[in-house]
Structure formats: structure tokens, C-alpha cells
Structure 1
Amino acid sequence: MAGEFRVDPDALRRFARTSTERAERLRAIRAELGAHQLSASAFGKLPEADETGRDYVERSEAAIENAGAAGDTMDRIAEYTEGMAAAYERADEATGQSMRAISAGLGG
């Protein structure tokens, strides 16, 4: 016999809200990173400085892109979690209706 399994739709909705909040924070981080770019010459005049500057630009662009992608992922998590909460509520309601119909059919 399987163990008891319970889902709290309100807990799922709270998690969805925190996912939305995380998405907003990630977008704020992305905007902040994008607003503070160093120039390629910021690393000096030595030959190695050019390579360091290119590496910085590449990594900072990747960080900006990744923060945006993470924000989008958090939004999808929030959307799907909210949908999951609603689906559990619909399933519980359908089960309740079935039980009431069975009970009514048995004269209860």
C-alpha cells in the first residue's frame, strides 16, 4: 500500500510567488550588470591587457545573458507551479464530486 500523499496548493502558490520575486531580482541584477560595462582599455596598455579586456567583455555579456535567462526560467517555474496548484484543486474537487455521487447512489 502506498504512503499518504498530500499537496498544499497554497504552499505551491507561495512558491510560485517567490519564483516571481526571484525573476524580478534576477532582472534587476541583469539591468545593473548591463549598466556598468568597462571599456576594453580599462585593463591597461600591456599586450595581455587586450586579451583580459576581451575575456571581460565575453564573460560580462554571458553573465548578463544568463541572468536574463534565469529570470525567464523563474517566471516559467512560477507559471507552471501556479498551474499545478490549480490542477490539484480541480482533481480534489472532481474526486469529491465522485465520492458524493457514489454516496448518493448508495442511499447516503
Structure 2
Amino acid sequence: MAQGFGVQSDALRTYARNTEPDVGRIQRIRNHITQLELSAGTFGKLPESDSLKSDYDAKQDESLRDLESAAEALQRMVDAARETADRYDGTEVHTVSTFGGE
């Protein structure tokens, strides 16, 4: 390409392939956290015990939402890397054929 510009589409695909398992790992972590249920008496019988349980439950819910968001964002990055590689390759093929190349 002009002035030495080039894209390593294989590098983009390698990034996507190596990163995609992390999406599953985040989802597995989220699933494990979902299974953590604490009983009402877990924090003892002190006056603030129920408040501690409520705080824990709220933080757990926030963590689950954050992990889901992280997995979705990472999957979008993986998909975008693959799509970008495909588009660069498609553009390259089109450009070469337009100028009579093979």
C-alpha cells in the first residue's frame, strides 16, 4: 500500500482468538458468584447484622452486573477485531483486483 501502510489482519485475528476465552472465564466467575447465597444469620446477631447482609447482597448484585458488562464489552472487542480484519482483507482484495492484480 501507499507509503508503507499495512494492516496485520492475522494479528487482529490472533488477538481475537486469544482473548475470546477470557469472555468465558468472566462468565464462569459470574456464575460462581451467583451461587453464593448467605443466610440471614451469617453476620451474627448484632444490631447491624441485617444491615451487613443487605450491604453484601447489594455489592454482590453490583458485581454481577459489572462482570456481565465486562464480558459483553470484551466480546464486542473480539467481534470488532475479527470484523476489522475481514474488512481490511476485503478492501485489499478489492483494491488489488481493481488495479488488475491477482
Same fold flag (TM > 0.5)? yes
Q: Distance in 2 between matches of 1:18 and 1:47?
A: 50
Q: Equivalent residues in 2 for 1:25-64 (5 A)?
A: 25-64=25-64
2:86 is matched by which residue type in structure 1?
A: A
Gaps in structure 1 of 5+ consecutive residues: 102-108
Per the normalisation by structure 2, the TM-score is 0.85
Q: Distance in 2 between matches of 1:47 and 1:7?
A: 63
Q: Deviations over 1:52-105 (max 9, x none)?
A: 11110000111112112211222221112111100000111112112227xxxx
Q: Distance in 1 between matches of 2:68 and 2:37?
A: 16
Q: Quick check: 1:9–1:86 contact (8 Å CA) kept in 2?
A: yes
- The structure richer in helix per residue is 1
Q: Which has the larger radius of gyration?
A: 1
Gaps in structure 2 of 5+ consecutive residues: none
Aligned to 1:84: 84
- Quote the sequence identity (%): 29
What is the number of residues matched between the two proteins?
100
Per the normalisation by structure 1, the TM-score is 0.81
1:60 is matched by which residue type in structure 2?
A: Q
Q: Quick check: 1:40–1:54 contact (8 Å CA) kept in 2?
A: no
Could you say what the CA RMSD is over the residues aligned between the two structures, in angstroms? 1.9
